[in-house]
A = this chain, B = another copy of it.
Amino acid sequence: MGVSIGELAVRFGCELRGDPGVMVERVATLAAADERSVAFLANPRYRPELAATRAGAVVLDAEAAGVCPAAALVCRNPHATYARIAAILHPLPAGPSGIDPSAVVSAQARVDPGAHVGALSVIGAGAVVGARAFIGPQCLIGEDAVLGEDVRLVARVTVCRGVEIGARALIQPGAVIGADGFGFAQDQGRWIKVPQIGTVRVGADVEIGANTTIDRGAIEDTVIEEGVKLDNLIQIGHNVRVGAHSALAACVGVSGSTTIGRRCMIAGQVGIAGHLTISDDVVITARTGISHSITAPGVYSGHIPHEQAATWRRLVARFKRLESFATRLKALERRPGRACDQEEDDD
């Protein structure tokens, strides 16, 4: 079994340096690869491991190929080519077409005969499941939800009523798409629930991580555009729109009614307040809090790195005295008899 590297070279447009008949069966790291493995080199951090690799072939760029001890699959973007080769060698588990006898599927649901519905999944009335969709075990597809072609719900995914999931979307276990948004009106010290009557529309080729939550809209819809990648434990509030091909890392929280542009990259534990607009092509570094809109592409930060605790305590004490610092600095600047070389008003 396996695939010849000649076939891989043709299929993915690589220049092959080596024997096209070499057969490979799996991917591996440069360090762990054997002769039946394809490795790759994209991050210069791993360059030192190239010389000693025993891989059957290595995916790399032309510059690194010169010193590759194995057959080389040379391409401009080794990481992307590796990803495509890995998908061939390690296909996702397939399920048989049809509905597992333990699943509970409404007679009013429309499940494509080529779709797979796993054990103990529930599909509500009016739901539609597209061609070749893979519904893993213990999923819940609410009433009137619509899943496109080739959607894959790994397992135990909750798709609430009326939610739309685009073609080829991939959703990890524990994700909840379409729970009620957090909407309440205050009335005499009590919270009155505001019915959340919008839904969630998830575009094609979106990936949603484990235990991530995307709330349905209050009146209109929450929208995740095509190609968006959401990591685990992310919170997307009601009526948020995430622009196409943006990627959000784990533990990000986006408050309600905020719009994030296209091709943004938002690192872990970032928080974005509600009713903001983040423009296209914005990068936000880890743990930054965004409390006002961002109108221009660029990199934005707001995190102070750690110190040893004793050092940090002193810094915090100084920070808490910044008012005093400012006052004293101004007093020094205003001293009589000084050379008046600089004065700046700081109030």
Contact = CB atoms under 8 A, between A and B. Distances in A.
Contacts of A156: 140, 156, 158, 176
A307 B219 CA distance: 33
A107 interface: no
Interface in A310-342: 310, 312-316, 318-326, 328-329, 331-339, 341-342
A232 B187 contact: no
Main secondary structure of the interface of A (DSSP, over half): loop
A314 B186 CA distance: 30
B231 A233 contact: no
B336 A336 contact: no
Interface stretch (A14-22, A66-74, A127-135, A167-175): A167-175
A3 interface: no
A72 B231 CA distance: 45
A193 B84 CA distance: 8
Contacts of A310: 299
Contacts of A215: 210, 232
B337 A328 contact: no
Interface in A99-137: 100, 102, 104, 118-120, 122, 124, 137
Interface centre among A176, A249, A284 (most CB of B within 10 A): A176
A229 B122 CA distance: 28
Interface string A208-233: 01110101000110000001010111
A227 to B, nearest CB: 6
A207 B249 CA distance: 25
B245 A195 contact: no
B269 A268 contact: no
When A and B form their complex, which 4 residue pairs have the shortest distance between CB atoms, in order from nearest? A318-B322, A302-B306, A179-B210, A79-B185
